[in-house]
Structure 1
Amino acid sequence: MQLHTESWGEGDRLAVLIHGIMSDHRTWRRVGPALADLGYRVLAVDLRGHGASGRGAYTPAHYADDLVETLPAGADLAIGHSLGGLTLALAVERLRPARAVFSDPAWNLSLPGLDFDPSLFSQFKRAGREQVRLLNPRWEEADVDIELATLALWDEATAPALAPLVDQDLLPAAPVVPSLVQLADPSFLISPERAALLRERGFEVRSVAGAGHTIHRDDFDGFMAALEGWI
């Protein structure tokens, strides 16, 4: 499936951005222009079932195939957040960016003590402004507005498709390209033990102190600082 894309900048280097579940390209409203200012041409997709992209079967393989069909191979930089991080990991061997950044990626939903229920995502589709603001106290008001707008467009049928992932360990065995894993503090997706395992497997791992799961909206400056040497 060809995905809807948004672009910023006209630089000689190419960066691609892949959002998480319930979101779309608008989550990168500050990241896209910031990378453009650094000399990148930036492409951000709407995954299937999100934003202006089409609807269809929702599996990790479909998401990854869509990236390969939509994005050019050999980008200078690829950043995937949460579900976008999982999707990027599954497509990275075909996309072959020069560098990959996985921002709090959804590589394991069965951590000890984590009672994960994909149906909670479906329920959140009907969240109001105060609930979004309560759950994300560090977000700017513009990000609350965007979250409400993206929820309205999001196909909640994508949520049940996450259920099979709960019993799978999707932690990559090794980086396909030079790769940074950027973690929330604490991350409910990547435990300290699994972060150490990622380091053993050849990933660079950095945490953004105090940031929640959507690091680039919780602490934009911290998000960009954690990319030092990668952008």
Structure 2
Amino acid sequence: MPKWGLSMKTGKIVDWFVSEGDTIAKGDDIVDIETDKIAGTLESPVEGLVRRIIAEPGSDLPVGAVLAVVAPADVPDAEIDAVVEEARAAVESGALEEGDEPEPQLVEVGGRTISYLSLGPDEADAPVVLVHGYGGDKNSWLFVQQPLAEDGHRAIALDLPGHGASGKDVGDGSLNTLTETVTGFLDALGVGRAHLVGHSLGGAVVAAVARAAPGKVASLTLIAPAGFTPEVDAEYLRGFAAASSRRELKPLVGRLFADEALVTRQLVDDLLRYKRLDGVDKALTAVLGTLLGDGDRQAIDTPALLKDVDVPLTVVWGASDRIVPVPDGVELTRVDAGHMAHMEAPGEVLTAIRARL
């Protein structure tokens, strides 16, 4: 059972895509798992023959529980049975209770406190830095950050000012302020060059970082970045900034996904809890002015930011994005998802990111 996000303790098996006797490859989709926040698809971390499926659909299992056994055909059934019994005993005994878990850290950048989570080896060259969108936080990368760390990369997800566990002072909320924060964050962590991955507002921010400090950027992966087209769901942006109740927030959050059934009560509750923190309303309002211009059109011009930026670039977009429509005339990878492609189609997003590493 994978660890998707800091709050995940258990996962519920929804549906298997493989059967006993199938041969799987690393990266194959093997099983859908439901967490307290959202359902996700587990990619196989190994290749080989599926000898036994232990976790039945509908079962709730702790992080770290064995879900299936993969082994060569010449391994005796008795050895497979022993592994299965050991796995079941570990669950029943409570031996899989969480031990020491990675904890978010804080760093001061330009007088602002920035919260971040780093996974993977510290000595890895050119880490992957993940930057969320408007109203999001580092936990939105729950299906992306851990797999990258397991690949051997250092994967760092941060909360922009005004978001998540970072300080709520966003100053003027401008793109320049957010860009300077990310650039200063890299300096504060001693990161010389990084592969930058940005979603929505975060996409525009990392594009601006590449323009301001191209020597710090090994590659860019932009996921439904703000500013590629004038059109945007301004009603969503204004509504999210103003929402103060579950009744107001839930239908807005549903617009972020192609499959609105993915929106759990916990996901909405977490967003509502964030929105009720002191200073959040002011921060979101300030940043909203950066996103929206006259006539509720997008105020950021991301293609202009990228002009003359000579770093490897990948653009990924959910084909069913209702917040920022898929632009015409842009070379991009379409995935079967809404605006939150990295949560709804993480396997395809990971493929795009890995291609730049």
| TM-score where L is the length of structure 1 | 0.80
8 Å CA contact 1:139–1:218 kept in 2: the answer is: no
Q: Does residue 123 of the first structure (1) align with residue 221 of the second (2)?
A: no
User: 313, 319, 324: which is aligned to 1:185?
Assistant: 319
- Superposition deviation, residue 6 in structure 1: 1.0
- What is the aligned length? 219
Cross-structure match for 1:216: 342
1:166 aligned counterpart, secondary structure: coil
In the superposition, relative to structure 1, how do residues 119 and 141 fare at CA in structure 2: closer, same or farther (>3 Å)? closer
Q: CA 1:148–1:175 in 2, change beyond 3 Å: closer, same or farther?
A: farther
More strand by share: 2
**Is the 2:118–2:154 Cα contact (8 Å) retained in structure 1?**
yes
Residues 27 and 146, structure 1, Cα contact 8 Å, conserved in 2: no
Distance 1:16-1:218 versus aligned 2 partners, 3 A rule: same
Q: Aligned runs of 1:136-151 on 2, under 5 Å?
A: 136=257, 137=259, 140=262, 145-146=266-267, 148-151=269-272
Runs of 5+ unmatched residues, structure 2:
1-109
The letter of the residue matching 2:292 is A
Cα deviations across residues 60-113 of structure 1 (Å, max 9, x unaligned)? 1110000011124443421000000011011124262211101110014623xx
Letter in 2 for 1:152: R
Partners of 1:229 and 1:86 in 2: CA distance: 21
Q: 1:102 to 1:82 in 2, by over 3 A?
A: same
Q: For 2:119, give the aligned amino acid.
A: W
Q: 1:167 and 1:216, CA in 2 relative to 1: closer, same or farther beyond 3 A?
A: closer
When residues 87 and 21 of structure 1 are mapped into structure 2, their CA distance, relative to the original with a 3 A threshold, is: same
Distance in 1 (alpha carbons) for counterparts of 2:230 and 2:150: 39
The aligned counterpart of 1:10 is 121
Q: CA RMSD in A?
A: 2.8
Aligned residue for 1:101?
221
Which of the residues 301, 309, 312 maps onto 1:169?
301
Task: State the match for 1:64 in structure 2.
Answer: 179
Change (3 A) 1:116 1:109: farther
Determine which structure has more spread, i.e. the larger CA radius of gyration: 2
> Percent identity between the aligned chains?
22
- Within 2, Cα distance between the matches of 1:79 and 1:56? 21
Deviations 1:158-194 (A, max 9, x none): 2432333734533232443111111111445354424
Partner in structure 1 of residue 143 of structure 2: 30
Cα displacement (A) at 1:151:
4.4
CA distance in 2, matches of 1:33, 1:139: 24
Structure 1 or 2: more helix by fraction: 1
Q: How does 1:37-116 map to 2 (within 5 A)?
A: 37-54=150-167, 55-57=169-171, 58-72=173-187, 73-92=191-210, 93-94=212-213, 96-108=216-228, 110-111=230-231, 116=234
> Which stretch has the larger CA shift, 52-61 or 29-38?
52-61
Q: Is the CA contact (8 Å cut-off) linking 1:15 and 1:75 kept in structure 2?
A: no
CA distance in 2 between counterparts of 1:101 and 1:149 reads 27
**Letter matched to residue 301 of structure 2:** D
What amino acid is the match of 1:66?
A: T
TM-score, normalised via structure 2 length: 0.54
Structure with the bigger RCO (C-alpha within 8 Å, sep 6+) is: 1
Equivalent residues of 1:22, 1:151 under 8 A apart:
no
1: CA distance, partners of 2:157 / 2:195: 12
After superposition, the C-alpha distances for 1:118-154 in whole angstroms (9 at most, x for unaligned) are 4223134534585367443367567x63453244325
Contact 1:26 1:146 in 2 (8 A): no
